[in-house]
Structure 1
Amino acid sequence: MTEMLSWTPFDAARWAAPFDLFTSSPFSVLDSFQRLFDGGTENTAMRVEEAIEDNMLVVRAELPGVDPDKDVDVSIADGVLNISATREQKTEKHTDGSYRTEFHYGSLQRRIALPDGVSETDIKASYKDGILEVRAPLPAKAVPAAPAKVAITRD
């Protein structure tokens, strides 16, 4: 016998704990709200992954079907990496006596807070096979000074 699974919006397994919002980046919360008000669906969400590889912050954004020279903008302002893209895709189909065209337009944007001390001039971006990769060298960690004894003098 086949079992049917019912879904309710209050299913605890599908929702994060309410206080998990405060442990994530404030920009991810803002991006979620922005996509909500933009009428965002899964098609308008820019998927990204962040990792640290060889003392570099590596951000990969999934942007298939865009021209990185015309449609993608990567900028840094106030310690925040801004990635925005515009996608325009049009398909045409000619068959026996019929013509069909479809188009998809959309704007994508993500904001990612950069760690303190990242030099904006050292950030590099590349695009290959639909993936935008942004590399930001992380600053060297400050070595804590060894405790030093301070001599006390008498007046």
Structure 2
Amino acid sequence: MNLIRRHNGLFPSLLNDVLTPDWFGGMDQSNFAFPAVNIREEETGFTLELAIPGREKEDFNIEVDHDVLTISMEVKDKEETKENGYTRREFRYGSFKRAFTLPETVNADAIEANYEAGILRFSLPKKEEALPKPKRLIEIGK
């Protein structure tokens, strides 16, 4: 099933413009939306990449349970500025959670992850029995 979002007429577009984070004080929440995901299958495994810039590796919680890889993050920021007798406080909170059902061919015990340059990258190696077998020549017997 594909979900297709349509904007017909002025009202939905205007409503979306009003409800954007910029309308309510200019807070950029782009880091708190679902991150973009790339999944690539290779001969020996899968590579899963999530674009999550501006974070630290300690911000992520990653677990595998019953062949489901779950990636989550929760961020709480507090900023306080004091100038000329005024105090300005800003609080930001954001989180996301993504879950991926692993194929039976993935060796869940050998999954590796790293975070570099804003990309959270997973290496999901295939089980030995799922790897392609080398070609062999079979001779015909007598």
Same fold flag (TM > 0.5): yes
User: Equivalent residue for 1:140?
Assistant: 131
Could you tell me which runs of 5 or more consecutive residues in structure 2 were left unpaired when the two chains were aligned: 1-8, 14-28, 135-142
1:62 aligns with 2:70: no
Corresponding residue for 2:65?
77
The whole-number CA distance in structure 1 between the counterparts of 2:89 and 2:48 is 35
The answer to whether the 8 Å contact 2:68/2:102 transfers is: yes
RMSD over aligned CA atoms reads 2.8
1:64, CA displacement in angstroms? 3.6
CA spacing shift, 1:8–1:67, aligned 2, 3 Å: closer
Question: Which moves more between the two structures, 85-94 or 115-124?
Answer: 85-94
Check the 8 A contact 2:35/2:51 in 1, yes or no: yes
Query: Structure 1: how far apart are the matches of 2:56 and 2:105?
Result: 31
- 5 Å matches for 1:13-24? none
Given the two structures, how large is their TM-score scaled by the length of structure 2? 0.60
CA contact (8 A) 1:48 1:59 kept: no
Once the two structures are superposed, the pairs formed by residues 93-112 of structure 1 within 5 Å of their partners are 93-112=81-100
Paired residue secondary structure (1:121): helix
Identity score, percent = 28
User: Number of matched residues?
Assistant: 107
Q: Which amino acid aligns with 1:59?
A: L
Q: Gaps spanning 5+ residues in structure 1: where?
A: 10-40, 144-155
1:61 is displaced (CA, Å) by: 2.2
CA deviations 1:96-155 (Å, max 9, x no partner) are 222211111233110012222200122110012332111112341479xxxxxxxxxxxx
CA contact (8 A) 1:66 1:87 kept: no
TM-aligned CA distance change 1:115 to 1:57, over 3 Å: same
- Is this contact kept in 1: 2:31–2:53, CA < 8 A? no
Which residue of structure 2 aligns with residue 6 of structure 1?
A: 10
